[in-house]
Homo-oligomer: A and B are copies of this chain.
Amino acid sequence: MSNVRIGVIGAGNMGADHVTTLHRHVSGAEVTLVADVDKERAALVAGFVPGARATDDAYALIADPDVDAVVIASHDTTHADLCVAALRAAKPVLCEKPLAPTLDECVRVVREERQVGGGLISLGFMRRFDPAYVELKSAVGAGSCGAPLLVHCTSRGVSSAPGCTDELSVTGSAIHEFDTVPWLLDSPVTEVSWHAGRSTSAMAGLHDPQLMLLRTADGTLTTVEVFLNAGYGYDIRCEVAGEHGTLALTNPARLVSDSARARLTGYPADWRPRFADAYRLELQAWTDAVAAGQPSPLADAYDGLVASAVAEAVIASMKDGGRTVPVQVPEV
């Protein structure tokens, strides 16, 4: 069986990681082309893979006959146009989240996809492939904790990126939870509210931590804490409390050590070690589906639209004193 030939758009950290993972750890994938507006950067990353070429023209990559499928890991603002171009070229796409920065653009992509028959766009909500989240969803679905009543999500990082804003905390970080929670519960988010208290002094002007309450259609209440400048480490938690018990992710550290009056387990500095397996398995599942001509098991464009609609409602609450705001998903 011949390999799926993949073009990767965007040679920043995320794109470079995808190139490396596809090349070194994904069966049946072959990176043939890398595009970046910075052509040197594209060449550098293409250099990871013997035989891969580089370009500064993402549209040429999409059109290239050596590219069977496209990974989009370029700037958020380019996602919608590139997705549309790939759709028109009838090539499968794995687009990093978000689908687009605005709801209107998300709608445009979803509509465009429906016109060509659907199923071409996959969205990089990689937690759906994280073995721990997969086990959690499976256990929840098997009724291990009874009907879910409360979910507590915590998303902490060492420090926020320069230029981070309250809105970007929502659209860039909390958006993972906006996809994860309804996926876990199999129930869409229907209303939200946004709250913040005392903020870290690490970044002036930023509300950090933020606390969001989500209500899903099944009635379950979810708390989402996003704390970008938590300082101590990258730490993702999720607990589902149900009628008969709870289920939660463990701290995934592999070593415990005793030293200087303490027993300790480490935290990673960022998301890479935590979600390396999730990205690998997501890329494998996508490659397998493309190779087999089967529907992708990843999140799709509509999931991306829905998550953005939740984000929009959260931001509306943020701007209106923490009021409870209904989630409105546009008709497509």
Contacts and interface: CB of A to CB of B under 8 A. Distances in A.
A277 B156 CA distance: 27
Contacts of A145: 257-259
A195 B191 CA distance: 13
A246 B265 contact: no
Given A24-B284, A150-B197, A248 B255 contact: yes
Contacts of A223: 211, 223
B198 A147 contact: yes
A3 to B, nearest CB: 8
B247 A257 contact: yes
Given A227-B150, A248-B255, A197 B219 contact: yes
A255 B250 contact: yes
A263 B257 contact: no
A232 B250 contact: no
Contact of A197 (B1, B220, B263, B322): B220
Interface stretch (A81-89, A118-126, A171-179, A199-207): A199-207
Contacts of A219: 197-198
Report the contact-size class of chain A (Cβ under 8 Å from the partner): 35 or more
Contacts of A254: 131-132, 135-136, 249-250, 252
B144 A257 contact: yes
A1 B50 contact: yes
Contacts of A196: 221
A245 B259 contact: yes
Nearest to A231: B244
A201 B148 CA distance: 11
A229 to B, nearest CB: 8
A27 interface: yes
Number of copies of chain A assembled together: 4
A262 interface: yes
Nearest to A230: B241
Contact of A258 (B24, B132, B221, B267): B267
A94 to B, nearest CB: 17
A149 B209 contact: yes
A262 B267 contact: yes
A232 B259 contact: yes
A139 interface: yes
A305 B295 CA distance: 49
Contacts of A202: 243
A228 to B, nearest CB: 12
B251 A150 contact: no
Nearest to A260: B232
A113 interface: no
9 contacts: A25-B284, A135-B255, A149-B199, A150-B197, A197-B215, A197-B219, A231-B245, A262-B264, A264-B264
Interface of A: 1, 23-27, 29, 50-51, 131-132, 135-136, 139, 144-150, 152, 156, 195-202, 209, 211, 213, 215, 218-221, 223, 225, 227, 230-233, 235, 241, 243-269, 277, 284, 288, 322, 324
Given A135-B255, A232-B246, A261-B266, 10 more contacts: A1-B50, A1-B51, A23-B27, A131-B254, A132-B255, A150-B197, A196-B221, A232-B260, A248-B256, A263-B264
